[in-house]
Amino acid sequence: MDGCFPPPKDKLIMQPESDFFSFPKMRWTVCHIRELMPTKQVSRGIGAPIPFTYAKDDNIDAITFQPLNSEQEMTWQESQSANYTDGILILHKGQIVYERYLGCLDKLGQHAAMSMTKSLTGLLAEILVAEGTLDENAKVTSIVPELKDSAFGTATVRQVMDMTTALDYSEDYADPNADIWIYSKAASPLPKPQGYDGPNGYLEYLQTVDKSGAHGDAFGYKTINTDALGWIIARTTGKNVAELLSERIWQKIGMEQDGYMTVDAKGMPFAGGGLSAGLHDLGRIGSLVLNKGKFEGQTLFPSEVVENIMAGGDKEVFAKAGYTTLPGGSYKSMWWIFHNANGAIAARGVHGQTIYIDPTAEMVIVRYSSFPSAKNSKIDPTSLPAYQAVAEYLMNKD
Amino acid sequence: MDGCFPPPKDKLIMQPESDFFSFPKMRWTVCHIRELMPTKQVSRGIGAPIPFTYAKDDNIDAITFQPLNSEQEMTWQESQSANYTDGILILHKGQIVYERYLGCLDKLGQHAAMSMTKSLTGLLAEILVAEGTLDENAKVTSIVPELKDSAFGTATVRQVMDMTTALDYSEDYADPNADIWIYSKAASPLPKPQGYDGPNGYLEYLQTVDKSGAHGDAFGYKTINTDALGWIIARTTGKNVAELLSERIWQKIGMEQDGYMTVDAKGMPFAGGGLSAGLHDLGRIGSLVLNKGKFEGQTLFPSEVVENIMAGGDKEVFAKAGYTTLPGGSYKSMWWIFHNANGAIAARGVHGQTIYIDPTAEMVIVRYSSFPSAKNSKIDPTSLPAYQAVAEYLMNKD
């Protein structure tokens, strides 16, 4: 995007998605999703932002940690490039102690949050549950009758929120007939190819999902649960997730920038992964959660919302999913619960996206990144122990 | 976009463009362009907006005027619905005296500016000329060599800015072989259909435009001039129009909201018509122009920029274009000059979009609308005399 327009062919990043999400093009794409796809605004409103205060501590760069499954120590600073970090922010007691922009991100940019979007959708649902407008024990079909004949119909709202639904749905990217590809075609905002007779949009797709097994038996990380939750939220409140995020969160905590969400061809926001937002603004979200719904003297939602999430989900059903870098963890309301000594939780997205919230260290870390592999299990070795090392450093400073 | 998702089929607004720009669907589309197409942010930055002060005057609703070619008087208030107004703002001496949101717009929304975008592109070019970084007498080919073999190559920058280029280009929407359709296909951000071998993007299209006649002879309102100017600006500054608008204007005058611009499949913003922005924020642009580049004590650009525009273009070449509702007018740097007693100028876009700037009355009117017909000649009869009547009312109040 500069005066050298048009860019040379090898630097042109365009549809289709298989091109723009390929590495290394992805390193640009994650900061420019809206230039490739239709999006819906998550409005911050028109008031003045509430600026952060700074208590910068450059000693953080030299903090060392031992990566998982490695004998060689690494510094915090070294972990930035190891993780293809695009932007990183550390808040301690609400103040910015560390902040770096690398890769495609700057302070006026927004970065793809990927599956961290799920945690915000889950937070909205948990708020509605705490306020009594959404019954976590209700069957989904009683709220969204259109889902009656799908696997979701017989699940409870809570099972959808915790992803313990029993879905006949494969995310095996190597299998060209996997459900993920049918889902992707349905979700694409581009006009459908001639002759296409599959589902159009998230909502039509969700109605086609069959059941496999018994709800509640196992955790299965499947994005379509979040899209179903987005529909449940929309039907409950009369507002889709983008609108509700704006009304309940974005307009309330002094955000610097609008966020935005990708949409399907019918305008439904992608509740399972469509958000892009600024680095500071995800820091504000982390602070809001750390402070259990309190922000600058206001109470946005009851503290039980965060207490429920932090209490975590069922560790046994989580263990069945076999996440080697998250032993003893759980998943609750679309947040990852580490069940570590500090009681840390996280919003996580592919390619290394994280909001890491440590209530004991009173610390929030936001990392945007574009790690070549989607799998967080490859990024966790140089990030999870790094977060813990920074937490310990900050606790010792107090 | 509400909890009744999915919307019933007759209320679904989707690609292709021929559907979403049809009336009455267009009445929704004009506030939701970004939900249908990829867009590029025009960032306001992250500072606090500078709020307007209010001096509301509800007597304005009762002001009467005589529509062009009509003997029946109409009130200002009646003109709102006659013009399918979505939002209207009147500033007098920098204060808001009148403001209404109707149709799809509200104070947190952005509306399609349509060809008002041209006036902002023209303003940027005029700023670069005044600052000496762009030579208005240079041949286009000396700045953008890729345009050497097109009609633009032999035109001067000034001829492009004033749309007096001689282009073999037809905008006859009734002719399926008209150039406008080839241009639209090139400009579409959607992946090209299989077998398509035409130009892809604004820049490839511009290189195919042939010459017809002599440059400088006549005014011809052709959007592709603005796209060529956008390219000239990008090559001159290293920034495309969206980036430069942000840097030079949006971040400087306390904007409430980001704007955004549609882009082609390669990410080039649509300099000729792609902007969407908030109502108040176009009011700030109007104030900036009215005050000849001064804003809250800062000087954003030399006063000669606006003085050059207000002086107007060649009335004789303009007259040849036959605009019946704009007798004695001219077009300069992509602004419409009325050459009336008050020295008014305007940014104008199809379906009734206007920033009307009256320096004598110290008045700016911004109207966003979704009039069923694209042609402003159908909207002018109930708007131009209305603007003049409000100007006279405000002058008499002083």
Q: What is the CATH number of the domain that holds A392?
A: 3.40.710.10
Query: Looking at residues A372-392, what average pLDDT do you find?
Result: 95
**In a domain? residue B17:** no
Q: What CA–CA distance (Å, rounded) separates B257 from B251?
A: 10
CA distances from A96 to A119, A387, B102, B151 (A): 23, 15, 42, 55
Each residue of A240-287: pLDDT tens digit? 999 999 999 999 999 999 999 999 999 999 999 999 999 999 999 999
For residue A210, tell me if it sits in a domain.
no
CA-CA distance, B104 to B115, in Å (whole number)?
Answer: 19
Confidence at A372, pLDDT banded by 50, 70, 90: very high
Contacts of A194 (CB under 8 A, 6+ apart): none
For every residue of A248-283, DSSP letters joined together read IIITTTT-SS-EEEEB-TTS-B-TTT-EEE-HHHHH
The listed range with the strongest mean pLDDT (A18-22, A135-139, A172-176) is A135-139
Residue B299 CB coordination number (10 Å): 11
pLDDT surpassing 70 at residue B292: yes
Which chain A residues touch B243 with a CB distance below 8 Å? 1
How many whole angstroms separate alpha carbon B15 and alpha carbon B21? 9
Indicate the residue among B193, B224, B255 that finishes a domain: B224
Active site residues of A: 115
Q: For residue B95, list its beta bridge partners.
A: B92
The DSSP letter of residue B22 is: S
Indicate whether B313 and B259 sit together in one domain: yes
Shortest CA distance from B204: residue in chain A: A6
The three-state DSSP-derived secondary structure of A123-173 is HHHHHHHHHCCCCCCCEHHHHCHHHCCCHHHHCEHHHHHCCCCCECCCCCC
Query: B207-239 pLDDT, tens per residue?
Result: 999 999 999 999 999 999 999 999 999 999 999
Locate B3 and state its tokens. 């909890």
Residue B4 binned pLDDT confidence (cut-offs 50, 70, 90): low
Owning domain of residue B182: 131-224
Contact list in B for residue A204 (CB cut-off 8 A) is 6
Asked if residue A167 is part of any domain, the answer here is no
pLDDT at A2 over 50: no
B349 located within any domain: yes
B185 and B41 in a single domain? The answer is no
Residue A387 burial by CB count (10 A; 0-12/13-18/19+): exposed, middle or buried?
A: buried
Q: Is B159 exposed, middle or buried (0-12, 13-18, 19+ CB in 10 A)?
A: buried
Gyration radius from chain A CA atoms:
20
CA distance B122 to chain A (A): 17
Q: Residues of chain A with pLDDT > 90: what percent?
A: 90
The angle subtended at Cα A98 by Cα A94 and Cα A101, nearest 5°, is 120
Q: Residue A272: what pLDDT?
A: 97
Mean pLDDT of B74-78: 98
Residue of A5, A189, A265 lying closest to B240 (CB–CB): A5
Q: Is the dihedral of CA A11, A12, A13, A17 positive or negative?
A: negative
The predicted pLDDT at position B1 comes to 42
Nearest-by-Cβ selection for B191 from A46, A190, A258:
A190
Same domain, B274 and B381: yes
Whether B219 and B253 share a structural domain: no
Q: How many domains does chain A have?
A: 1
H or E element, residue B306: helix B304-311
Q: Which two tokens stand for residue A210?
A: 């069959």
pLDDT in tens, A32-48: 999 999 999 999 999 99
**Mean pLDDT for the stretch of residues B124-135:** 98
| B280 plus B384 within the same structural domain | yes
Whether residue B342 sits in one domain with residue B251: yes
d(C-alpha A339, C-alpha B234), whole Å? 52
* Domain shared by B287 and B360, yes or no: yes
- Is the distance from CB of A116 to CB of A348 less than 8 angstroms? yes
pLDDT, residue A16, reads 84
Are A269 and A40 within 8 A, CB to CB?
Answer: yes
Taking CB atoms and an 8 Å cut-off, how many pairs form between chains A and B? 143
Whether B246 and B201 share a structural domain: no
Separation CA A374–CA A223 (nearest Å): 14
Task: Give residue B6's pLDDT band: very low, low, confident or very high (50, 70, 90).
Answer: confident
**Which residues does chain B have within 8 Å of residue A237's beta carbon, measured at their own beta carbons?**
3
Q: Could you tell me what percent of chain B has a pLDDT over 90?
A: 90
Q: What is the DSSP string of A349-373?
A: EGGGEEEEEETTTTEEEEEEE--SS
Instruction: Provide the pLDDT confidence category of residue B3 given band limits of 50, 70 and 90.
Output: very low
- Amino acid of residue B224: I
- Give the residue among B386, B363, B286 at the shortest CA–CA distance from B81: B386
Considering the domain architecture, whether residues B343 and B303 belong to the same structural domain is answered as yes
ipTM value greater than 0.90: yes
Does B9 fall in a domain?
Answer: no
Most distant CA pair in chain A: distance in Å? 65
At A4 the pLDDT is 58
Does residue A255 fall inside a structural domain? yes
Q: What SS3 class is residue A338?
A: coil
Residue A258 lies in a domain: yes
Q: Give B345: exposed, middle or buried? Use CB within 10 Å, 0-12, 13-18, 19+.
A: buried
pLDDT of residue B19: 85
Higher pLDDT, B323 or A11: B323
Specify the pairing of strand B275-277 against strand B259-262: antiparallel
Chain A partners of B260 at a C-beta cutoff of 8 Å? 34
Place B8 in a pLDDT band, splitting at 50, 70 and 90. confident
Residue of B nearest to A49 (CA): B48
Asked whether the beta carbons of residue B14 and residue A107 sit closer than 8 angstroms, the reply is no
> pLDDT digits over A313-339, tens only?
999 999 999 999 999 999 999 999 999
Phi, psi for B355 (deg, rounded to 5) = -115, 110
- Residue at A245 is within a domain: yes
B308 and B367 in one domain? yes
- Contact check, Cβ <8 Å, B39/A39: yes
Strand partners, A196: none
Q: What is the DSSP letter of A3?
A: T
pLDDT tens digits for range A199-224: 999 999 999 999 999 999 999 999 99
For B12, the closest chain A residue by CA position comes to A266
Within 8 A of B207 by CB-CB distance, chain A residues are: none
Specify the pLDDT at position A107: 96
Report the pLDDT value the prediction gives residue A249, as an integer from 0 to 100.
98
Query: Residue B192 is part of a domain; what is its CATH number?
Result: 1.20.58.710
Residue A256 identity (one-letter amino acid): E
Res B177: pLDDT: 87
- From the list A34, A256, A265, which residue is nearest B14 (CB)? A265
Asked whether residue B207 falls in the same domain as residue B257, the answer is no
Least CB–CB distance from B238: residue in A2, A7, A238: A2
Q: Which DSSP state fits B219?
A: -
Burial class (CB in 10 A: 0-12, 13-18, 19+), B341: exposed
Nearest residue of A to residue B43, measured between CA atoms: A108
- Tokens 């610097």 map to which residue? A256
Are B286 and B392 in a shared domain? yes
* Per-residue model confidence as pLDDT tens digits over B168-198: 999 887 888 889 999 999 999 999 988 999 9
Predicted confidence (pLDDT) at residue B52 exceeds the cutoff of 80: yes
What mean pLDDT is reported for chain A? 95
